[in-house]
Amino acid sequence: MKAKVYFINPHSRTFSYESGLEGKFENFLKGFDLSAYIARDEVVPIKMHLGNRGAFRTIRPQFVKLVVDAVKSIPAQPFVTDSVRVPGYEYLEIAKNAGYTHLTLGAPVVLADGIYGNDSFKVKAGELLGEVSIASAIHDAPSMVVLTHVKGHIQAVLGGAIKNLSMGGVSFAPRNDTWQHGRGRMHFLIGDIMEWDESKCTLCYDCMNVCPMECITFPDDKYTVDNANCWRCGRCARVCPVEAIAVPITHEIFMKALVEGAKAVVDTFEKRRILYINFLLEMQPECDCMPMADPPVAQDQGILISDDPVAIDAATLDILSRVTPLPDSRAADITMKDGWDIFSLLHKKDGKLQIKEAEQLGLGSSDYELVKVG
């Protein structure tokens, strides 16, 4: 049987709340049987990415609140969560400034791996990762709703449900352990330090400014990393405008590792206990973990809902293969090609590889039925 992916289009045909995206999403949630996934009185993580300082194109609090209200109506007890992406205390401040607070959402905002980012459980993963540590508030949860702001990603190509599960569900720094069992491992599978090409470096210091751990310095104009404190997040390499920093990974190995991470997270739940909601809104070229935002590369496309992470991301990429690149965006000069989505063309890598690897690993199915519900 095909996986169902529900689709709410972004258009408003009349001047009424009910005809707009927010109203249609609320209406959908009211008619949708969330209790098929979440049992009465359960404490339920609503997993999302809370952004970064300057990364303001995340999911608007109004939409998150609708999901909180829907979970509460079961009745169950939602909390909004992510694992730490920048140091935990700072991340909570970022969340508050983005409008994600108990007061605005109606549910507590909690760091899934604690304020220090080391509250996690080690579980078995695939052949590349071996073992990974899952953020405890996700590991211990009986059910979950995964809200994903769809965007591009220089390494994963698509920042969709699979990436949200994997990079956000796997903790950064397991207690009494090294980054080797955290999410940094996905970036560092064929080596454990970055390589720096001095001849390419222009000393722009973008890498230093973007490092969440402030562990890059340039003594005598030489890129130097405090390896003991480095999270292996790879951001320094991603932002380097001249590719002077190389992370020891290939696209193929990264995609496989990313999917293994997602599978390890999903395997801590019973079957059909996670619901995924992708917001194809304000789709910027890069991840919300970067300390900035860039104009969207395509017009808003709406909201997708499914209980299959592969189906929802496959549907997302299919929609993104039919969009028109927006003028004045980073994708403005891209010519769309049959079978290619805008993020794969922008990042010059095959985003569908995520889907293929995920399907092979049994994370879900790319064979879906799109059900238009608004």
Interface residues with ligand SF4 (CB under 6 A) are: 201-207, 211-213, 215-216, 223, 225, 230-236, 240, 242, 244-245
Q: Is 60 exposed, middle or buried (0-12, 13-18, 19+ CB in 10 A)?
A: middle
Three-state DSSP at 354 gives: helix
Pick left, alpha or beta for residue 343 (phi over 0 → left; psi -120 to 50 → alpha; otherwise beta). alpha
Minimum CB separation of residue 336 from ligand SF4 in Å reads: 31
| Token pair belonging to 67 | 């999901």
Closer residue to ligand SF4 in complex, CB, 36/242: 242
Residue number with CB closer to ligand SF4 (223 or 279): 223
Count CB atoms within 10 A of the CB of residue 293.
19
CB of 221 to ligand SF4, least distance (A): 9
Contact 283, 152 (CB under 8 A): yes
DSSP string spanning 164-227? HHHHHHB-SS-TTS-GGGSGGGGG-SS-SS-EE-TTT-----HHHHH-TT--EE-GGG--EE-T
Q: Based on CB atoms, which residue is closest to ligand SF4, 105 or 167?
A: 167
Nearest distance in Å: CB 182, ligand SF4? 11
Nearer to ligand SF4 (CB atom), residue 206 or residue 300: 206
Nearer to ligand SF4 (CB atom), residue 147 or residue 245: 245
Compute the least distance from the CB of residue 195 to ligand SF4, in Å.
11
Q: Minimum CB separation from ligand SF4 for residue 240, in Å?
A: 3
> Minimal distance in Å, beta carbon 357 to ligand SF4?
23
The one-letter code for the residue type at 90 is E
Six token digits for residue 59 = 């999911």
Pick the closer one to ligand SF4 by CB: 213 or 361: 213
- How far apart (Å, rounded) are the C-alpha atoms in residues 98 and 119? 24
